[in-house]
Chains A and B, each alone.
Chain A
Amino acid sequence: MSMRIVIAKPGLDGHDRGAKVIARALRDAGHEVIYTGLRRKPSEIVRVVMDEDAVAVGLSTLSGAHNVLIPKVCEELISNGMGDVIVFAGGIIPESDRDYLYSLGVRAIFGPGTKTSSIIDFLEIISERKNSQLDVGVGEKIGWRWS
């Protein structure tokens, strides 16, 4: 159940402590984590996911640009034939913005203060869903999401 996961920081904010904490926690749970570093463009993130043949991508954003950047990543994944990739998000994303992101295929949003164990549980479940061929990718049928 070990997966290859990209942890990416879109947007202009220069803080990646949160993203690094998550990356380490996922490693300690047995996953292979590819960390992109700060300030990556959506197109670059999609490129990394493609080259690394990652199963999932976690987008961490604090900058308030989530309503532009996260949709862009989702769109570009789908238009590049990577609708099976699982997208989740973390950082500061107001409650009122979340339904829109879910409607684009984002399967989980983890707010500040989330325990890393929740993210690990989420990954466990998406891996099971994938194995049972249930919809979970960004381009697959919307409906199920982590809550």
Chain B
Amino acid sequence: MEMVLSHDNNIALAKQGNRRELAKLLTIIESGERLPIKESNESWVLGVTGPPGVGKSTLIGVMIDEWVRRGEKVAVLAIDPSSPKSGGALLGDRMRMSSADNGESVFIRSLATRNHPGGLMPFLDSMINLLSYCGWTKIIIETVGSGQSEIRIVAFANRIMLVDGPDRGDIIQAEKAGIIELADIIVINKSDLPNSDAAAISIKKSLEYSNKGNDTIVMLTSSINNTGVSELIEELDNLHVDKDRSILRTKERLLSAWDYRLLSNPSLNDILLNLESGAINLDEALNHL
């Protein structure tokens, strides 16, 4: 027989540093349950996004090392898409952060997007609250920045870093996705390769066109040579969270929650059918919903 259990005890253990309890609680949250943890405005959450292959995971790996040296406790939620066909997923980000699989100051969890309605991951804020409650001082969300739903995922963070490669093609992808406007900091990784300086200049130019104030920070790093990384950490630790961008992110989160409600409404199908046949009009449909 199934018993209704409160998770208070497990939460207390996770807070004391029991990683197995923490891991199990994350599974529970992922399955859709809400835990009784109150929201905190204190969480430090960095969203890391950018095209596939530019070195996001590798860079996060070396950032972790740097933060751990500085006494921080770093938790990473590494998100990769689920296959729309099979529903399965290949989660390989943590393979690039392998130096982090030792020691008590790092926790990495791989998550698949699981084809939620609208591509949303409505439980991410609960995961962040839990991690923050359990004493993780730097929380990082990695996601592949290639579309609207990824923007909505990183919008759960309160600071956003866009990572790009030296290829112009990568940058164009990010521009199209509209992530440049949301980013507090833009990093051109693989600075050990040719063209990275040109890439940085081109990013700065395109920022001049799009932004008015234009205080977005642009930096160069090489995660394999470990150059620019401690400077990047300095910038991130001292980042002042821009009000306008904070409002933009909040708006994305609100839209997420709104869409999720709409798309998971049980009468959505009936309303769609009525709308399609002309039995009701759009305003009526919205009122029903």
Q: Please report A residues at the B interface, Cβ cutoff 8 Å.
A: 2, 23-24, 26-37, 40, 43-44, 47-48, 50-53, 80-82
Contact = CB atoms under 8 A, between A and B. Distances in A.
Given A27-B88, A28-B86, A33-B88, A52 B112 contact: no
A27 B90 contact: yes
Given A33-B91, A37-B95, A40-B98, A50 B20 contact: yes
A95 to B, nearest CB: 31
B88 A31 contact: yes
A35 B108 contact: no
Interface string B146-158: 0000000000000
B169 interface: no
B109 A36 contact: no
A36 B99 CA distance: 11
Contacts of A23: 90
Closest 3 CB pairs of A and B: A37-B95, A27-B88, A44-B101
A27 B89 CA distance: 5
A43 B104 CA distance: 13
Given A37-B98, A51-B19, 15 more contacts: A27-B83, A28-B85, A30-B87, A32-B82, A33-B91, A35-B91, A37-B95, A40-B98, A44-B98, A44-B101, A48-B101, A50-B19, A52-B110, A80-B20, A81-B20
Contacts of B89: 27, 32-33
Given A37-B95, A40-B98, A52 B90 contact: no
Q: Which of B83, B85, B94, B107 has the most CB of A within 10 A?
A: B94
A32 B88 contact: yes
Contacts of A47: 101-102
A23 to B, nearest CB: 6
Interface in B3-22: 19-20
Interface stretch (B23-31, B41-49, B222-230, B231-239): B23-31
A87 to B, nearest CB: 17
B36 interface: no
Contacts, number: 73
13 contacts: A27-B83, A28-B83, A28-B88, A29-B86, A31-B88, A32-B82, A33-B90, A34-B92, A36-B94, A40-B98, A43-B102, A50-B23, A52-B23
Given A27-B83, A32-B112, A51 B23 contact: yes
A114 B137 CA distance: 45
A114 B240 CA distance: 55
A34 B87 contact: no
Nearest to B83: A27
Contacts of B101: 40, 44, 47-48
A35 B95 contact: yes
Interface in B98-131: 98, 101-102, 107-110, 112
A36 B57 CA distance: 13
A80 B83 CA distance: 32
B203 to A, nearest CB: 30
A44 B23 contact: no
Contacts of B102: 43-44, 47
Interface string B208-229: 0000000000000000000000
Nearest to B101: A44
A2 B91 CA distance: 14
Given A44-B102, A47-B101, A51-B108, A35 B23 contact: no
A37 B91 CA distance: 11
A51 B88 contact: no
A40 B87 CA distance: 28
Contacts of A80: 20
Nearest to A48: B101
Nearest to B99: A44
Contacts of B91: 32-35
B110 to A, nearest CB: 5
Contacts of A40: 98, 101
Contacts of B24: 53
